């Protein structure tokens, strides 16, 4: 696993990490407490040191990433906890940035902390923060920077292009392998790179595409969806860009062995005979061979082959294929198993025409966590997709119906959505909204009452997400 730290980032990374430590400590103690002061004293040289070369230092949260003076701060797994914490604290208060405009002393940071801690209880935390910092000449807070509508539109277009191109590519690969033709693996890597970039940029857009299912092209959509979900989970657990690519590629080809399974079995709508079941269960073994048929032997093909072999094995080895010596499942296999189960359950397949709703799938998966699935990774997974994953159809306490369209990283219980009916149940022009919206009294405008099965009511989720 790549954990090399880019040295030029170090001061920025240390600054973000220490800022998190200071805020966390001040949540437990008064800003004057010795533990807080010690943490502040470690933060001050980091800020003032950077101010020797820069006129101001801005720590900004854009999407899932921190930037210091426009430089994206790359973090390693060791800093994951601090970054995750600070991201949530910023999101809770709708704070986009904190800027240090001149060299600071302990008192300046203590003032910042007092206001920062207190403002979370205000109806408009960001407003309270700005007001609280009005007297503080060296520290300023900024709003969350939104990507411009044009930029967002372009990004959505890029997401769609990348997604469908990945599906089309996967279809091509599988057909070529069936025909015994050579496959361009360089292209596969490039496609996964694009997906990783888009996930790093605006995770929710590409994640949203996984909610669009296609019964006729299930295998290809499923491969791409598993790849996207796996990379998103990999990103959540702090894997490096290179590792994400390796994981995405392994996930994309996790079912490649199915090209060796006769279509009559693969597309059989009724239950399998024992013999047919055995043929289907051989696909992980075929997968290993197929991986090396299309890709030269290197570290990433090794990982891909392991994933192809282990993705049905289950954490407790209750799955298939059975092995002689029990070994822990590879990390990537555990990630892909989660993504595979989730996408499989929520898709309409030959042998399960009616898909599960995302929340039901998560509920079933939570029962499997600890046996079939890795419980720790499941915890990260549910924090990734949220309690109402993208594509969920929900009924609100305002009697409106909505489709979940994105995650709110500050509050996983309150995702973004698209309203599709009014309170009377009349179809409306879809409107984007968020469950985090509050009224003047600080109360949430809308709350989820229950989830609904879109298939039951022939509601085409893709109509709203595409």
Q: Count residues binding other proteins (CB under 8 A).
A: 99
Rule CB under 8 A: choose which of 27, 114, 165, 434 binds other proteins: 165
How near is the Cβ of 103 to other proteins at its closest, in Å? Answer: 24
The C-alpha atoms of residue 385 and residue 232 are separated, in whole angstroms, by 9
Rule CB under 8 A: choose which of 186, 270, 439, 440 binds other proteins: 186
Q: Is 395 in the site for other proteins (CB under 8 A)?
A: yes
Which region, judged by CB under 8 A, interacts with other proteins, from 77-85, 109-117, 222-230, 438-446? 77-85
Tell me whether residue 139 or residue 448 sits nearer to other proteins (CB atom).
448
Q: Is 460 in the site for other proteins (CB under 8 A)?
A: yes
Q: Are strands 139-143 and 393-396 parallel, antiparallel or unpaired?
A: unpaired
How near is the Cβ of 34 to other proteins at its closest, in Å? Answer: 21
> Is the omega angle on the peptide bond into residue 321 within 30 degrees of 0, that is, cis?
yes
How near is the Cβ of 329 to other proteins at its closest, in Å? Answer: 9
* β-bridge partners, 432: 418
Which residue, 417, 425, 408, is CA-closest to 446? 417
Tell me whether residue 141 or residue 329 sits nearer to other proteins (CB atom).
329
* β-bridge partners, 59: 68, 98
> What track of x and - describes contact with other proteins for positions 214 through 233 (by CB under 8 A)?
x-xx----------------
Q: Is 326 in the site for other proteins (CB under 8 A)?
A: no
Rule CB under 8 A: choose which of 180, 299, 439, 443 binds other proteins: 299
**110-139: contacts with other proteins (CB under 8 A):** none
Which residue, 146, 171, 226, is CA-closest to 416? 146
C-beta of residue 68 within 8 angstroms of C-beta of residue 15: yes
**401-430: contacts with other proteins (CB under 8 A):** 401, 412-413, 420-421, 424-427
Tell me whether residue 30 or residue 184 sits nearer to other proteins (CB atom).
184
CA angle 466, 216, 222 (to 5 degrees): 70
The C-alpha atoms of residue 242 and residue 335 are separated, in whole angstroms, by 16
Q: Is 161 in the site for other proteins (CB under 8 A)?
A: yes
Q: Is 296 in the site for other proteins (CB under 8 A)?
A: yes
Q: Is 305 in the site for other proteins (CB under 8 A)?
A: yes
Rule CB under 8 A: choose which of 33, 38, 273, 363 binds other proteins: 363
Burial of 76 (0-12, 13-18, 19+ CB in 10 A): middle
Q: Is 302 in the site for other proteins (CB under 8 A)?
A: yes
How near is the Cβ of 132 to other proteins at its closest, in Å? Answer: 26
Q: Is 84 in the site for other proteins (CB under 8 A)?
A: yes
> DSSP of 111-175, one letter per residue?
HHHHHHHHHTTSSSHHHHHHHHTTT-SSEEEEEPPPPPHHHHHHHHHHHHHHHHHHHHHHHHHHH
Q: Is 261 in the site for other proteins (CB under 8 A)?
A: no
How near is the Cβ of 466 to other proteins at its closest, in Å? Answer: 6
Structure tokens at 424: 């009377």
Q: Is 62 in the site for other proteins (CB under 8 A)?
A: no
> What track of x and - describes contact with other proteins for positions 272 through 291 (by CB under 8 A)?
-------------x--xx--
Q: Which helix or strand (DSSP H or E) is residue 49 part of?
A: helix 34-51
CA angle 321, 323, 326 (to 5 degrees): 125
**196-215: contacts with other proteins (CB under 8 A):** 212, 214
């Amino acid at each position: 696993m790549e954990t090399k730290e880019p040295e030029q980032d170090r001061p920025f990374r240390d600054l973000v990490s220490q800022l998190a430590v200071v805020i966390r400590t001040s949540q437990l103690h008064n800003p004057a407490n010795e533990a807080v002061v010690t943490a502040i004293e470690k933060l001050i040289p980091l800020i003032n040191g950077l101010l020797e070369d820069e006129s101001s230092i801005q720590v900004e949260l854009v999407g899932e990433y921190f930037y210091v003076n426009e430089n994206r701060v790359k973090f390693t797994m060791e800093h994951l906890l601090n970054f995750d914490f600070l991201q949530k604290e910023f999101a809770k208060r709708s704070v986009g940035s904190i800027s240090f405009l001149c060299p600071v002393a302990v008192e300046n940071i203590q003032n910042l902390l007092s206001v920062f801690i207190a403002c979370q209880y205000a109806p408009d935390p960001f407003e309270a923060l700005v007001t609280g910092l009005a007297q503080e000449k060296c520290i300023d807070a900024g709003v969350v920077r939104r990507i411009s509508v044009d930029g967002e539109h372009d990004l959505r277009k890029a997401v769609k292009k990348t997604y469908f191109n990945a599906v089309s590519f996967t279809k091509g690969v599988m057909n070529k392998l069936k025909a015994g033709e050579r496959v361009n693996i360089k292209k596969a890597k490039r496609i996964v790179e694009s997906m990783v970039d888009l996930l790093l940029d605006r995770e929710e857009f590409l994640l949203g595409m996984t909610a669009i299912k296609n019964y006729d092209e299930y295998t290809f959509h499923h491969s791409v969806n598993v790849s996207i979900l796996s990379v998103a989970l990999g990103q959540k657990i702090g894997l490096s860009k290179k590792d994400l690519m390796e994981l995405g590629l392994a996930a994309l080809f996790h079912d490649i062995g199915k090209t060796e399974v006769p279509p009559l079995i693969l597309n059989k709508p009724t239950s399998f005979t024992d013999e047919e079941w055995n043929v289907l269960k051989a696909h992980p073994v075929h997968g290993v061979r197929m991986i090396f048929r299309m890709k030269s032997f290197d570290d990433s093909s090794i990982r891909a082959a392991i994933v192809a072999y282990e993705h049905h094995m289950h954490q407790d080895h209750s799955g298939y294929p059975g092995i002689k010596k029990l070994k822990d499942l590879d990390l990537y296999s555990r990630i892909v198993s989660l993504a595979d189960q989730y996408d499989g359950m929520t898709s309409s397949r030959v042998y399960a025409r009616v898909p599960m709703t995302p929340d039901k799938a998560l509920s079933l998966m939570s029962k499997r966590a600890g046996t079939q699935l890795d419980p720790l990774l499941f915890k990260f997974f549910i924090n990734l997709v949220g309690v109402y994953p993208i594509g969920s159809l929900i009924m609100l306490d305002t009697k409106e119906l909505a489709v979940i369209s994105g995650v709110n990283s500050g509050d996983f219980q309150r995702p973004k959505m698209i309203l599709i009916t009014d309170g009377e149940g009349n179809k409306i022009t879809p409107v984007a909204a968020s469950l985090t919206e509050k009224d003047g009294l600080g109360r949430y405008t809308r709350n989820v009452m229950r989830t609904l099965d879109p298939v039951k009511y022939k509601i085409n989720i893709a109509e709203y997400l595409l």
